[in-house]
Amino acid sequence: AQRVTQPEKLLSVFKGAPVELKCNYSYSGSPELFWYVQYSRQRLQLLLRHISRESIKGFTADLNKGETSFHLKKPFAQEEDSAMYYCALSPTDKLIFGTGTRLQVFP
C-alpha cells in the first residue's frame, strides 16, 4: 500500500532550537518525495523535493530508503517557520499526503 505517515500532529519548539519533522512512507517503487508547507492564510506550496537535494529557508530533507523516511530538518527554528507541514509521496500522476504536522515556534 502507498502511504505517508507523519506521527506528530503538533511540534512546539522555541526560536533557535533544532527542528525535525518526521515522515515515513510505504511504497514499493522508487519514491518521489516532497515537503509542502502552508503558512497561516496562505496557499499550500512546495517547500522542497528530495530529487533537488537543496536547502530551502534553511530546511533540508534526506531520503533514507532503508528506514523509508524523509524527515525535514532545520538546525535553528525561526518564528516565521510556524506553519502546517505536509510530507507527500508521488506515484504516477498524483500526490499522497501525510496528515500534516503543525510546527509552532515560540519566541
Partner 1 sequence: KAGVTQTPRYLIKTRGQQVTLSCSPISGHRSVSWYQQTPGQGLQFLFEYFSETQRNKGNFPGRFSGRQFSNSRSEMNVSTLELGDSALYLCASSADRVENSPLHFGNGTRLTVT
The yes or no reply on residue 56 touching partner 1 (CB under 8 A) is no
Half-sphere exposure of 86 (CA within 13 A, CB side): 17
Backbone angles phi, psi at 101, to 5 degrees: -130, 125
Here the cell at position 76 is: 535553528
| Distances, alpha carbon 85 to alpha carbons 8, 28, 54, 55, 92, in Å | 11, 24, 17, 16, 22
For partner 1, which residue of 5, 8, 15, 32 counts as binding (CB under 8 A)?
32
Site for partner 1 in 74-103 (CB under 8 A): 86, 90-100
CB of 46 to partner 1, least distance (A): 4
Q: Does 7 bind partner 1 (CB under 8 A)?
A: no
Using rule CB under 8 A, residue 49 touches partner 1: yes
By CB under 8 A, name the binding residues for partner 1: 32, 34, 36, 43-46, 49, 86, 90-100
